């Protein structure tokens, strides 16, 4: 290489043929077929955007009419783009080209560097030579120096463009940290030869500045700040500094200045923050940062120094820790304490009840050591590295980021100290809030960041089981052999799985697709999937590497990827940083891009979840599983093995069980995205599958209803839909003497309860009823082979339009006839003989519950129709959250609505927003100082109004669930019944989600001003906190197994 910028792969690329037209042709229905630099045919009549000389070729003015007419490109901007392209590509993890084995015998004795690292090392040398050449050093390595009696230059100016870009790449590219350590070393060495020394020092200084800023932004509680990115970036920057200690660029440990200027001093500060932080989430975060960094320290540090054990490991591991993912009691638990009892369903893995009772005591002892989340898993896996290095099997890993050293090719001497000219003292952390935590200052303003944990703490779900041991070899030989799965079970240790899964999550967090405030989409799921698959290049094969031969992906790694992604999907929620839809799209792209290995691994993963995990999964995880499966079917043309459907069908037709519910709900979600139910029968399900009879349940026969009630409903439908009568006229009719006298003549008085209300809501839901009837007929006729008749009926029936149109028509009718619904409720209430006081009478709420029950009856529990209609009724103050809870949890043998917690949460959110909008929220800012000095919350209007709204609902929902659990009574089996699981886990999810909503409302930020601290907000909601709700449960008698489980859950809520 001669040092010229254009002579390397990092020089300016030959642009070749452009797409043509650019933004300009977006104004026409033509596509540019560019040649050269962006040709394409112009629309000559469109004058404002090009020169009058239409035959002139070459660069055209920008397509944006508001842009500057100048086509001059800023040289500084062009240089920055070119530099960014070069630096970001230097560590690309891709298959290198095969090379001939020309190494000498002497070289072959040394450990061989992996081919991908050899290619990266060569890239580092080429790039550093280009950047530090005489012609380019002045451009890329320039930086400003502070001058006496002159304004101090900015941080970016003193750092320089190359060092700034390098550190930014370190923060955002989790798999390329060793590459940028090598580039730091190479440029530092070359820069000293062209009088631009101090490059490594500038990188370290800028790293510490970025580290401090990210930590402060996380602790500040700013909601608009990308915490998910910041948490992972701090982790990557610490890893970068740890690897720099391996090449003696920065001081690892120092006996001077109290160890403040060494990397160990920085880690010790983070460990002290974890110990002293009063906020549990902050403590766990700093603990996670330190423990994740320890494996990257030089081996001699952990072997020779007791500093790591005494100052870092012991204090952090000694902290009390209760996992939020603990089965049965954790607020984010993925698993139940024990599998739910499903009558009539026998599993091979289940033993007799007597044997389970004998083992119950042993299970309780094992719970204390149970590994429930990734933080516990991290401690378990790195313990041998820190404490007992003699256990080679526990410390050995195939994850290559620990051992990759591309900088070794930069010097002929194996001593890394020769790579750097000078060992640097680490700058002191310039954080604003870290010292406040260390000194116990209560003014550290961490805002409410409940979902911050979802960026670094995840539930652990070993879908494919634990690593195989020697005792398992005989069992594995008897089972059908799957080479990839067998390689995964035998060759991937717990440490391997932990590190690879962590790398997957880092890639997902740092390459997430986002939409900016200007509406521009950045990133694609396909690109993220490529980054996830590139993890194959940082996992070594067990076989020795043969020089000159390209490395194939490690056998079995696809099972690590599938296990990680499926477990993330199951625990994702609407407010987590890793959203369910985003994860589903990435997994879909992986399946598409790796058809040889991913589909098979995914099918086995789904089979394991279905057969071994579904009865133990919490309902929210089952729902996530169903929604993902429906998404996957829809986007893969419903390709799924027929044998799976045949096996699953037996669970659907059986009594209520988790596996049957999974299949049924998956089909419901698939049906929501279909324009015709024929597709479900002919395309989604295999021919002759018995599941077609369970897609839609037939409507309940109303033949036993009184003739007049049927005629009243029919008459109301005609007035609303056929004659479009004015609401006031129908109100006069419904509440008039004619209807009242007719109802008085009915002998069965029980049939008269809320009869007007039932007739009105069923009338308004007519289009929904007809739409569902058409879908049922489509299914039955398609199964019978009568497709032509079904299609004709669907085309001629106005109610067979899409569900969105039917919903819009129905909600418009509810809005128009709102006064009619309210008048019917009041008239029916008069017939009960109960006086209404303050509009909150229990009997009136029961009437609203009856209205909702009939709405759900007509909608056949269709999620789209029920959510849309319920939101409309809530928005227009026809019903409230109290009546919704009564409707969902009223007494009965079964729950009236599946996934009842979703509707309770929806109603709580709608009404809470109303409370917030009607309150003077700014008063929180004005009175915060008084409140800190002991002012009562009742003097703060937003807090009082929110508490007055939320507290009765928490109590009402808890009391309703307790009554239902008491009615069920005790059962003589270890697990809870399906209805008990839905009641307990549904209430937990409702309480947790509603609490989060309240805390977000109290700690809401405007611009950069936090209205209330988390600690203060938690103090104001203690009247409906977990311990208070646990006390309500204890007061309820008789106590049952389900109630005791509920008490344990509430006590564990922080």
Question: Nearest 5°: phi and psi at 252?
Answer: -80, -50
Greatest extent of the chain over all pairs of C-alpha atoms, in Å: 108
Q: Is the pLDDT of residue 799 over 80?
A: no
Say which range, 415-429, 498-512, 621-635, 895-909, has the weakest mean pLDDT.
415-429
Residue ranges of E strands in 559-667: none
pLDDT higher than 90, residue 410: no
- What six digits make up the tokens of 3? 């040092």
Alpha carbon distance 1000, 916 (integer Å): 11
Q: Is 49 or 514 the better-scoring residue by pLDDT?
A: 514
Task: Give 124-166 pLDDT, tens digit per residue.
Answer: 998 988 888 877 777 788 777 766 666 667 888 888 889 999 9
Q: Rounded to an integer, what distance in angstroms lies between the CA atom of residue 1045 and that of residue 942? A: 34
Element holding 514 (H helix, E strand)? strand 514-515
Identify the pLDDT of residue 380: 92
Q: CB of 398 within 8 A of CB of 539?
A: yes
Nearest to 495 by CA among 591, 334, 596, 379: 379
pLDDT band at residue 348 using 50, 70 and 90 as cut-offs? very low
Q: Give 539's strand partners.
A: 399
Answer whether 686's CB lies under 8 Å from 638's CB. Answer: no
**Cis-peptide into 1038, omega within 30 deg:** yes
Q: Which of 241-255, 367-381, 496-510 has the lowest mean pLDDT?
A: 367-381
pLDDT of 87 above 50 = yes
Q: Is the CB of residue 42 less than 8 Å from the CB of residue 50? A: yes
Band (pLDDT 50/70/90 cuts) for residue 287 is very high
Between CA 979 and CA 1000 the distance in angstroms is 31
Long-range contacts of 928-935 (CB under 8 A, 24+ apart): 928/1011, 928/1012, 928/1016, 931/1016, 932/1016
Q: Write the DSSP assignment of 395-456 as a string of letters.
A: H---BGGGT--GGGGG-SSS-GGGT-S-PBPPPPP--SSHHHHHTT-TT------GGGGGGT
Task: Report H helices in 160-257.
Answer: 161-172, 177-191, 199-220, 227-246
Structure tokens at 751: 């049939």
pLDDT at 470: 57
Segment 507-512 mean pLDDT:
90
Q: By the 8 A CB rule, do 420 and 244 touch? A: no
Strand partners, 399: 539
Task: Point out the least confidently predicted range of 276-280, 353-357, 621-625, 845-849.
Answer: 353-357
Whether the Cβ atoms of residue 325 and residue 460 lie closer than 8 Å to each other: yes
In this structure, the number of other CB atoms found within 10 A of the CB of residue 930 comes to 12
Are 409 and 125 in contact by the 8 Å Cβ rule? The answer is: yes
Give the residue among 945, 912, 930, 913 at the shortest CA–CA distance from 1016: 930
**Report for 68-72, 338-342, 1013-1017: range of highest mean pLDDT:** 338-342
Structure confidence by residue, pLDDT tens digits, 255-267: 666 677 889 999 9
Of residues 897 and 429, more confidently modeled: 429
Specify the pLDDT at position 533.
Answer: 95
SS3 521: strand
Are the C-beta atoms of residues 93 and 538 closer than 8 Å to each other?
yes
Q: How far apart are CA 806 and CA 115, in angstroms?
A: 60
Dist. CA 669–CA 673, nearest whole Å: 7
Confidence band, pLDDT 50/70/90 cuts, at residue 968: confident
Lowest mean per-residue pLDDT among 195-199, 379-383, 988-992: 195-199
Contact 294, 382 (CB under 8 A): yes
Residue 550 has pLDDT above 70, yes or no: no
- What's the pLDDT tens digit per position in 443-495? 666 655 667 888 899 999 999 988 876 555 555 445 556 889 999 999 999 99
Instruction: Name which of 583-597, 829-843, 975-989 the model is least confident about.
Output: 829-843
Q: What tokens were used for 722?
A: 């056929």
> What pLDDT was estimated at residue 527?
92
pLDDT higher than 90, residue 223 = no
Confidence band of 892 (pLDDT split at 50, 70, 90) = low
Q: Which residues contact 814 (CB under 8 A, 6 or more apart)?
A: 764, 821, 869, 872, 873, 876, 878
Helix axes 863-875, 803-816, angle to 10 degrees: 20
Structure tokens at 780: 């039955």
Identity of the highest mean pLDDT range in 109-113, 834-838, 841-845, 937-941: 841-845
- Token digits for 584? 């589903």
Residue 200, pLDDT > 50, answer: yes
Instruction: Please give, one letter per residue, the 3-state secondary structure of 265-278.
Output: HHHHHHHHHHHHCC
- Position 16 pLDDT exceeds 60: no
> How far apart are the C-alpha atoms of 989 and 137, rounded to whole Å?
59
Q: Answer for the pair 950, 1024: CB distance below 8 angstroms, yes or no.
A: yes
Tokens 């019917």 map to which residue? 824
Q: Across all residues in the chain, what is the average pLDDT?
A: 79
The closest of 243, 566, 188 to 400, measured between CA atoms, is 243
What pLDDT is attached to residue 547?
46
107's CB contacts (< 8 A; 6+ apart) are none
- Residues 479-515 as b or e (16 or more Cβ within 10 Å = b): eeebebbbbbbbbbbbbbbbbbbbbbbbbbbbbbbee
Look up residue 1005 and give its DSSP letter: E
d(CA 86, CA 159): 18
**373 touches 648 (CB < 8 A):** no
Structure tokens at 590: 């992986």
634 confidence band (pLDDT: 50, 70, 90): very high
Contact call for residues 1040 and 969 (beta carbons, < 8 A): yes
Tokens of 607: 């089979």
For residues 61 and 810, give the distance between their C-alpha atoms in angstroms, rounded to a whole number: 51
CB 124 within 8 A of CB 179: yes
């Amino acid at each position: 290489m001669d040092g010229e910028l254009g002579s390397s792969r990092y020089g300016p690329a030959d642009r070749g043929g452009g797409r043509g037209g650019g933004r300009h042709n977006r104004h026409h229905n033509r596509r540019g077929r560019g040649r050269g630099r962006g040709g394409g045919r112009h629309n000559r009549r469109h004058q404002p955007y090009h020169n009058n000389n239409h035959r002139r070729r070459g660069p055209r003015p920008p397509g944006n009419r508001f842009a500057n007419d100048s086509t001059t490109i800023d040289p500084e901007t062009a240089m920055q783009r070119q530099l960014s392209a070069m630096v970001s590509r230097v560590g690309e993890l891709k298959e290198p080209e095969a090379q001939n084995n020309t190494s000498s015998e002497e070289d072959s004795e040394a450990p061989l560097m992996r081919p991908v690292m050899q290619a990266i090392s060569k890239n580092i040398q080429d790039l550093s030579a280009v950047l530090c050449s005489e012609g380019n050093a002045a451009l890329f390595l320039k930086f400003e120096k502070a001058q006496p009696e002159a304004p101090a230059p900015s941080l970016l100016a003193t750092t320089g463009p190359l060092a700034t870009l390098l550190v930014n790449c370190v923060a955002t590219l989790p798999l390329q940290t060793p590459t940028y350590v090598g580039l730091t070393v190479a440029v530092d060495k070359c820069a000293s030869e062209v009088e631009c020394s101090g490059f490594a020092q500038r990188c370290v200084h800028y790293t510490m500045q970025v580290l401090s800023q990210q930590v402060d932004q996380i602790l500040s509680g700013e909601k608009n700040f990308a915490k998910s990115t910041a948490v992972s970036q701090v982790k990557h920057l610490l890893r970068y500094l740890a690897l720099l200690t391996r090449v003696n660029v920065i001081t690892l440990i120092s006996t001077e200045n109290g160890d403040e200027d060494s990397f160990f001093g920085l880690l010790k500060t983070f460990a002290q923050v974890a110990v002293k932080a009063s906020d549990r989430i902050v403590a766990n975060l700093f603990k996670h940062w330190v423990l994740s960094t320890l494996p990257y320290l030089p081996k001699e540090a952990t072997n020779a120094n007791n500093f790591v054990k005494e100052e870092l490991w012991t204090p952090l591991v000694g902290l009390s820790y209760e996992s939020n993912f603990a089965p049965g009691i954790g607020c984010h638990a993925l698993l139940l304490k024990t599998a739910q009892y499903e009558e009539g369903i026998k599993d091979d893995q289940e033993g007799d009840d007597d044997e389970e009772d004998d083992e119950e005591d042993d299970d309780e002892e094992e719970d204390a050591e149970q590994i429930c989340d990734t933080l516990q898993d991290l401690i378990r896996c790195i313990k041998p590295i820190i404490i007992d290095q003699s256990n080679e099997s526990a410390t050995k890993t195939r994850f290559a980021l620990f051992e990759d050293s591309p900088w070794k090719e930069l010097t002929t001497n194996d001593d890394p100290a020769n790579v750097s000219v000078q060992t640097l003292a680490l700058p002191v952390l310039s954080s604003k809030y870290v010292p406040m935590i260390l000194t116990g200052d209560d003014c550290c303003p961490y805002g409410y960041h409940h979902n911050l944990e979802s960026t670094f703490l995840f539930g652990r779900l070993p879908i494919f089981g634990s690593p195989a041991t020697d005792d398992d070899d005989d069992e594995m030989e008897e089972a059908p052999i799957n080479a990839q799965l067998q390689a995964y079970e035998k060759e991937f240790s717990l440490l391997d799985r932990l590190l690879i899964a962590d790398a997957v999550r880092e890639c997902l967090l740092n390459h997430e697709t986002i939409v900016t405030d200007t509406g521009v989409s950045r990133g694609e799921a396909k690109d993220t999937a490529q980054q996830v698959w590139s993890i194959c290049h940082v996992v070594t094969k067990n076989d020795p590497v043969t020089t000159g031969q390209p490395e194939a992906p490690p056998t079995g790694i696809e099972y690590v990827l599938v296990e990680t992604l499926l477990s993330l999907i199951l625990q994702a929620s609407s407010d987590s940083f890793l959203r369910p839809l985003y994860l589903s799209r990435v997994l879909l792209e992986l399946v598409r891009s790796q058809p040889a290995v991913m589909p098979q691994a995914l099918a086995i993963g789904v089979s394991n979840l279905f057969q071994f995990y579904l009865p133990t999964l919490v309902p929210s995880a089952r729902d996530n599983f169903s929604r993902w499966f429906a998404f996957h079917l829809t986007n893969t043309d419903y390709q799924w093995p027929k044998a799976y459907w045949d096996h699953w069908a037996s669970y659907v037709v059986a009594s209520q069980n988790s596996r049957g519910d999974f299949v049924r709900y998956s089909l419901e979600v698939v049906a929501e995205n279909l324009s015709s139910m024929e597709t479900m029968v002919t395309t989604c399900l295999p021919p002759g599958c018995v599941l077609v009879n369970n897609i839609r349940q037939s409507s309940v026969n109303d033949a036993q209803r009184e003739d007049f009630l049927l005629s009243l409903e029919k008459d109301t439908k005609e007035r609303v839909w056929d004659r479009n009568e004015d609401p006031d006229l129908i109100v006069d009719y419904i509440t008039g003497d004619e209807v009242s006298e007719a109802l008085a003549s009915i002998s069965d008085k029980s049939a008269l309860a809320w009869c007007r209300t039932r007739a009105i809501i069923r009338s308004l839901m007519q289009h929904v009823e007809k739409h569902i009837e058409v879908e049922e007929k489509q299914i039955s006729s398609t199964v019978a082979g009568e497709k032509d008749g079904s299609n004709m009926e669907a085309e001629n029936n106005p109610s067979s339009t899409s569900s969105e149109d039917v919903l819009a028509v129905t909600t418009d009718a509810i809005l128009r006839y709102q006064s009619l619904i309210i008048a019917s409720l009041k008239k029916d209430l008069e017939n009960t003989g109960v006086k209404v006081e303050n509009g909150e009478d229990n009997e009136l709420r029961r009437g609203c519950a009856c209205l909702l029950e009939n709405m759900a009856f007509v909608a056949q529990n269709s999620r789209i129709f029920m959510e849309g209609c319920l939101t409309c009724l809530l928005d227009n103050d026809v019903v409230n959250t109290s009546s919704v809870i009564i409707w969902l949890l009223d007494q009965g043998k079964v729950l009236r609505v599946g996934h009842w917690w979703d509707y309770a949460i929806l109603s709580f959110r709608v009404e809470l927003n109303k409370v917030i909008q009607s309150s003077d929220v700014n008063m929180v800012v004005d009175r915060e100082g008084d409140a800190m000095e002991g002012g009562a919350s009742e003097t703060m209007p937003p807090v009082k109004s929110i508490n007055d709204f939320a507290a009765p609902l928490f109590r009402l929902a808890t009391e309703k669930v307790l009554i239902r659990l008491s009615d069920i009574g005790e059962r003589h089996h270890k697990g809870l019944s399906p209805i008990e699981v839905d009641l307990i886990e549904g209430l937990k999810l409702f309480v947790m989600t509603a609490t989060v909503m309240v805390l977000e409302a109290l700690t809401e930020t405007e611009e950069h001003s936090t209205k209330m601290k988390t600690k203060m907000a938690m103090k104001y909601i203690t009247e409906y906190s977990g311990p208070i709700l646990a006390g309500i449960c204890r007061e309820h008698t008789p106590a049952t197994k389900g109630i005791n489980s509920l008490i344990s859950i509430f006590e564990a809520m922080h």
